[in-house]
Amino acid sequence: MKRWSMDKQLIQECIDACLACVAACEACATACLSEPDIDMMRGCIRLDRDYADVCALTARLLMRGSAVHARACALCAEACAACAAECGQHSHEHCQRCAEACRRCEEACRKMAA
Amino acid sequence: MKRWSMDKQLIQECIDACLACVAACEACATACLSEPDIDMMRGCIRLDRDYADVCALTARLLMRGSAVHARACALCAEACAACAAECGQHSHEHCQRCAEACRRCEEACRKMAA
Amino acid sequence: MKRWSMDKQLIQECIDACLACVAACEACATACLSEPDIDMMRGCIRLDRDYADVCALTARLLMRGSAVHARACALCAEACAACAAECGQHSHEHCQRCAEACRRCEEACRKMAA
Amino acid sequence: MKRWSMDKQLIQECIDACLACVAACEACATACLSEPDIDMMRGCIRLDRDYADVCALTARLLMRGSAVHARACALCAEACAACAAECGQHSHEHCQRCAEACRRCEEACRKMAA
């Protein structure tokens, strides 16, 4: 019935981490777009936009048990690392939350990609 | 900072219901594709496929506080009602779970669309 | 074999208009994020972000012949009208192109939603 | 203004190939779901479903000039190769068309990933 066998709990943790990261990226981008210092938030908005999409796709492929899940997780881990590095530079609470969610997602995705 | 003001808890419940529905639809479609009686699951797979996408978009728009969220929730409620009706006809556990997730998502989306 | 019968050419035109609108919205948001006057482009980026996603989903549902295509097109038409109104206010070439793509997409979607 | 510089024509060709592949995968999955021999089309539907999503994301990231485009194209090329191999085994016209679109998309993505 399944296309690949892995520890179910590990998969579920990765799905949850990806979805939490989508929510954090969307909230961060939305908040950045209302910040007075939007000029400094350009990179943050860009990465939030791209990586919310990457995390969302990765979660969907994991939910399906897609054959291509490992490579998607590798892409997602790379994306989350970049987003965490960018968002982590800003002191806004939404940026800090986003950076934290990205780090957790990166860690979960690296386990799945291995 | 927000583009629309609504009860935050209601929004979060709707986001959670949408994401649970995405997961249930993806799991149901994947399981249907491995069922011996796949001939009877055609409609189920079709609706799972379409409405997982609709629920996923609705969740993303809600996360962002999009101006178009009410109409998206109306679309999502209609989609979930149709999916619940189809999946509810099948006795497979994944279909019953999907139907239940769709009904909850429909209810949450109707509140937001109102 | 098909779930709904409509003029194939009309459907293809609507798919093309949606995809052209996705591309124009993505290009506009990306360019806005690099504009010196980003402070004035906040609304533009917000709507580009939301409506690229709405147009992309609408195109996918049309490609599939989804049962829910009419309501999705109605949502998409509303979204495109709002995006055209916002982007049309800015003189940047990417905004004007985006407004034009949104107007064409709105028109095509209204025909399908009818 | 751009986050990466590459031959614009190459990028546009890759976007077009990805979108053509999305359309072919969606059409193929929809048609497979109505085939009398659906029992043999399970793998085809699965891959169409996953890789339409992968191609769609890749196109969006390319439209934006995303920093992560190269890795996304590598994932997309791998996905398209697998889908072409599966769909190419079936004589249905929609499968043959899908296999051809996948091969073109794979080729375009490999150039971008390099």
Segments forming the whole domain that contains residue D40: 8-113
Query: Tens of pLDDT along D31-89?
Result: 999 999 999 999 999 999 999 999 999 999 999 999 889 999 999 999 999 999 999 99
Query: Is the model's pLDDT at D2 over the cut of 60?
Result: no
Which residue has 């916002």 as its token pair?
C86
Cβ–Cβ of A56/B56 closer than 8 Å?
yes
Which of B63, B66, B54 has its CA nearest to residue B16? B63
| A67 close contact with D: CB closer than 8 A | yes
| A110 close contact with C: CB closer than 8 A | no
C26 vs C34: CA distance, rounded Å: 13
Asked if residues D75 and D90 have their Cβ atoms less than 8 Å apart, the reply is no
D64 vs D25: CA distance, rounded Å: 23
Query: Which pairs with CB-CB distance under 8 Å and at least 24 residues apart come from D9-15?
Result: D10/D111, D10/D112, D11/D62, D11/D112, D13/D108, D14/D58, D14/D62, D14/D73, D14/D108, D14/D109, D14/D111, D14/D112, D15/C23, D15/D59, D15/D62, D15/D63
Q: Can you give the CATH number for the domain in which D84 is found?
A: 1.20.1270.360
Q: Tell me whether residue B28 is in a domain.
A: yes
A6 pLDDT band, cuts 50/70/90, is low
Facing residue for B64 by CB, picked from A1, A30, A65: A30
Facing residue for B1 by CB, picked from A15, A31, A64: A31
Q: Tell me whether residue D1 is in a domain.
A: no
> What value does the mean pLDDT take over residues B81-95?
97
Instruction: State residue B91's pLDDT score.
Output: 96
Residues 6+ apart with CB under 8 A from A33: A41, A45, C42, C45, C46
| A31 close contact with C: CB closer than 8 A | no
Cβ–Cβ of C50/B68 closer than 8 Å?
yes
Using an 8 Å CB-CB cutoff, list chain B residues near A60: 22, 26, 52, 56
Tell me what the pLDDT averaged over chain A comes to: 94
Helix (H, G, I), strand (E, B) or coil at C34: coil
Instruction: State residue B5's pLDDT score.
Output: 55
Q: Tell me whether residue C1 is in a domain.
A: no
Cβ–Cβ of A42/C34 closer than 8 Å?
yes
Could you tell me the two tokens for D11? 């990028």
Query: Tens of pLDDT along A86-113?
Result: 999 999 999 999 999 999 999 999 999 9
Facing residue for B57 by CB, picked from C3, C53, C64: C53
Least CA distance to A61: which residue of chain D?
D50
- The Cβ of residue B5 has, within 10 Å, a number of other Cβ atoms equal to 7
Per the structure, the count of domains in chain B is 1
Which residue has 């929730």 as its token pair?
B73
Query: Is the model's pLDDT at A79 over the cut of 80?
Result: yes
Query: Tens of pLDDT along D15-47?
Result: 999 999 999 999 999 999 999 999 999 999 999
B1 pLDDT band, cuts 50/70/90, is very low
Q: Tell me whether residue D2 is in a domain.
A: no
